Amino acid sequence: MSKSPVNTKLNKEKNLAMVIVGDRCIGCDACYVACKTDWEVPALKEAYRTKVYEVEGVDNHGNPTIGFLPTLCNHCDNAPCVSVCPTGASFKREEDGIVLVEPDMCIGCKACMVACPYDARYYDEEKQSVDKCTFCLPRISNGLDPACVTTCVGESRNFGDLNDSGSVVSQLIRNATSIARLKEDEGTLPNVYYVTVSDY
């Protein structure tokens, strides 16, 4: 039996994850706007909780290629932003693994922003706190999907509990023909998965 394709190190009640079907992203950036709007992310180009990169490349014949890479906080099980935080403002919820910043405890040292390998954090001058994706905890606590998942035009983004074998994310992981995570070699144990699926 090969090792599990998903994180199992922490004994979380819920194993929340975002599973992105890469082929379905059309680079429309609806997620970026839905997210910024819902969470009143500052009106700054550098402030965002999710972002889609357009990746240009070259194929074997020398022809140009393009692809899209949606990114957000990976809510890592081994989160460098949490271990580096001097006050405990950056923390990981034991019950579901969501990584949050408690604004009242943040002193704005930005060490977490430097530590994060995914560039997932920004500083909110008004809140005087670092801020980031919360996996839309306020929404999911009230029975809604995250804002980016709700609006995703290509239905590329999926969210749910990997401990629930019936969830969409579990099904996608089971049916995936490939599974990748960003910068796995850094040992961060990210919870955002990029999959390709052949069976719909």
Partner 1 sequence: MRRHELNRRGFLKLAGVSSVAFGAATTGLPSPLRASAEARKNRGQRFTTYDRGVKTPNFCEMCFWNCGVDVYTRDGKVHKLEGNKLNPNNRGHLCAKGNAGIQSTYDPDRVPGPMIRVGERGEGKFKKVSWEEAFDEVHRRLAPLLDKYGGETLATFMHGTGEQYAHTLTLALESPNITVPAYSQCMGSREMAWALTFGTGVSGHETYDMAYSKHMMIFGRNMAGAIQVREAEDFAEGLARGARLTYIDPRQSESAVRATDWLQIQPGTDGALALGFIHVIIRDRLYDVDFITKYAHGFNELQAHVKQFTPEWAEKKCGIDARTIERIAWEFAKDAPNVVAIPARRMTRYGNDTQTVRAIAILNALMGNWGVPGGIFVRTSVPLELPEHEHPEVPDVQRADGVGEGEAYPLAPPSLGRTNGIFEATLTQKPYPIKAWLLYGTNPLSHSSIGVNKIFEAIKNLDLIIAIDTQFSDTVMYADIVLPESTYLERDDAPFIQKDKIPFVALRKAAIKPIYDTKGAFDICKGIAEKFELDDWFEERSPEQQNAALERALTKEQRETLERDGVLRFEDVDPYPVASGSRPVFMTGTGKVQLFVDDLVAMHKEHGEAFSPLPVYLDPPEPKTGEFRLLFGRTPHHSHARSQNNWILLELQSDTPVWIHPDDAHKLGIKKGDKVQIHSDATGYTSRPEAVKITRRIKAGSLFINHGFGHRTPLWHLGDLKGTKDNYFISDGIDPISGAAAFHNGFVTITKATS
The residue type of 178 is: S
Nearest approach, Cβ of 91 to partner 1 (angstroms)?
A: 6
Read off the amino acid at residue 28. Answer: C
Best CA proximity match to 44, nearest among 133, 123, 134 = 123
Report the C-alpha gap between 159 and 146 in whole angstroms: 8
42 SS3 class = coil
- Relative to beta strand 50-58, strand 64-72 is antiparallel
Q: Which residue number, 52 or 192, has a Cβ lying nearer to partner 1?
A: 52
Residue closer to partner 1 by CB (options 55, 165) is 55
Rounded to a whole number of angstroms, the minimum distance from the CB of residue 173 to partner 1 is 17
Q: Which is nearer to partner 1, 8 or 113 (CB)?
A: 113
Nearest distance in Å: CB 6, partner 1: 22
Which CB, 6 or 41, lies closer to partner 1? 41
How far is 73 from 77, CA to CA, in rounded Å?
A: 12
Of 11, 128, 9, nearest to 78 by C-alpha is 9
> Minimum distance from CB of 161 to partner 1 (Å)?
16
In whole angstroms, give the CA distance from residue 171 to residue 61.
36
- Binding site residues, partner 1, CB under 8 A: 21, 23-24, 26-30, 32-34, 36-38, 43-47, 51-54, 56, 63-64, 66-68, 84-89, 91, 93, 100, 102, 104-105, 107-111, 113-114, 119, 122-123, 134, 137-139, 141-142, 144, 147, 150-156, 197-198, 200
78 vs 182 by CB, closer to partner 1: 182
